[in-house]
Amino acid sequence: MTLYDNPLPVADYPAYLALRDAMLATALPYLGLGQERQWLLRRWAGNWLGHIDRRAATARLGEQPCRLQYIGRRVDNRWHWAWDDPAGDYPPEALRDTLRLKQYGEEHGIEWLTRSGWPIDLPGQYEALRALAVMLNDAPGYGQESAPGLLHALDQLLIRGVTHTLMTVYPEAAVPHGIPRLDLVERVVNDLAHHEGMNAAGQPAIEAYLATLPPQERIPVPADIRSERRPAHINYFPDAATVFTAAQPWLADHFLPLATFDLASLDPALGDVRLHLVKPLEPYEGYIGMETTAAHTDYCGTNWLAFHLEDDGTYRFLAEEDYFLGNNGDPEAATYFAEVRADYEARKQRYRESGFFGDVDDSGLPCFGKAAEYLPFLGGGGNWVDETPPPAFSIEGDPYDYDSAVDIRYQNHRFTCIAMTAGYDWGEGGADTMILLYEPVNRIALMTFDYT
């Protein structure tokens, strides 16, 4: 295992993902209990540490004086344990908790608890570390500070590139338990159900947490729990010829094919077909289609575009090429679109050579980006509802209702939200959220876009 190499070899990118999963699995019994303690601590004292005295290992949490135990720190997206720092960086007594974690790792053969230098840039890794630091040390909670917050307290560590420090926190006064337990349970379950970092660990973490409670304090597992759903078969960066109809060869000039996936494994009612997730190059500014209203159709308008899924499995765009500005837009846009396409081609080549479709940061670590959400809940709100859908489509009910799933229809057949993803998670450029919907009776794929 060479996760400690810098830069991280491409061959070990899968091991990096496996490390995140292993961390969550180790912390699974403690994720909910640790979060409950943190909520008690926050509600009583506050969120932020201040007046940190590194040499005395003391601080204030809100107005409450407390003692600190230094667990470790993040440096250039890699983890460094406090016990691995030079002698004198911390008072020896402030290393008790981090040494307990090291001992636990030695006793259970967990390498990442006994060595520094493994990468820590994936969702879920910090959640796992915090839970283990609190629960294995029976601490009241944790504190975190970035480098600016420690400017005067950890000056020597800053010189060596500290960007984030994790500490367990021990207030001098006992933390009161004045919050009704049921309120805490509901908060913890909600956090675990909807936290992006939990990924597939959300439901098991909730079940493990509820199992520690007496029956009268347990609540039902939320029906809308965040879970990582994936089609059984995904082909990343497919060839444009397999995505776009041969009758519209110009589509490859305006869209970047990201993935082709089967729908039946997500929901058999959607049909045994393969759908395509694509990213439009436009817009450079504003919404796509905003400046080409003369080319709008019943299916494609401002911030909305649609395809028909042909019998051969390709997309036919339901407007003509003049829907796009192309070379008629801002001269700077052409330069920008060339950069977007070049980045896309580089990622596609990297994927075909190594099976990795992300990016690499300045420290040589892979940036996986947030995975696309499949069959997500599509609530109202967001600026994607500010532009009325093209005439062929209708939105039933209040499109600004955050609590109700949006009902979009074509010829009275309802669309299913198939995928949501950020365009920039697949490379340079793109909307904050690209929304792909599908109506299986008429085989219409509909896209709209949200921007922050």
SS (H, E, C) 262-324: ECCCCCHHHCCCEEEEEEECCCCCCCCCCCCHHHCCCCCECCEEEEEECCCCCEEECCCHHHC
Report the pLDDT value the prediction gives residue 407, as an integer from 0 to 100: 93
Report the pLDDT value the prediction gives residue 197, as an integer from 0 to 100: 64
Does residue 222 fall inside a structural domain?
A: no
436 and 335, same structural domain?
A: yes
Report the pLDDT value the prediction gives residue 151, as an integer from 0 to 100: 33
Containing domain of residue 202, as a range? Answer: 10-217
Report the pLDDT value the prediction gives residue 172, as an integer from 0 to 100: 95
Report the pLDDT value the prediction gives residue 150, as an integer from 0 to 100: 37
Domain tally, the chain = 2
263 and 212, same structural domain?
A: no
Report the pLDDT value the prediction gives residue 411, as an integer from 0 to 100: 97
Report the pLDDT value the prediction gives residue 227, as an integer from 0 to 100: 62
Any bridge partners for residue 360, and if so which?
366
Report the pLDDT value the prediction gives residue 224, as an integer from 0 to 100: 66
Residues in the chain predicted with pLDDT less than 70, given as ranges, are 1, 146-163, 196-200, 224-228
Does residue 226 fall inside a structural domain?
A: no
280 contact partners, CB below 8 Å, separation of at least 6 = 254, 255, 256, 288, 305, 447
Does residue 359 fall inside a structural domain?
A: yes
Does residue 224 fall inside a structural domain?
A: no
Report the pLDDT value the prediction gives residue 226, as an integer from 0 to 100: 62
434 and 294, same structural domain?
A: yes
368 and 419, same structural domain?
A: yes
294 and 208, same structural domain?
A: no
209 and 350, same structural domain?
A: no
How much is the mean pLDDT over the chain? 89
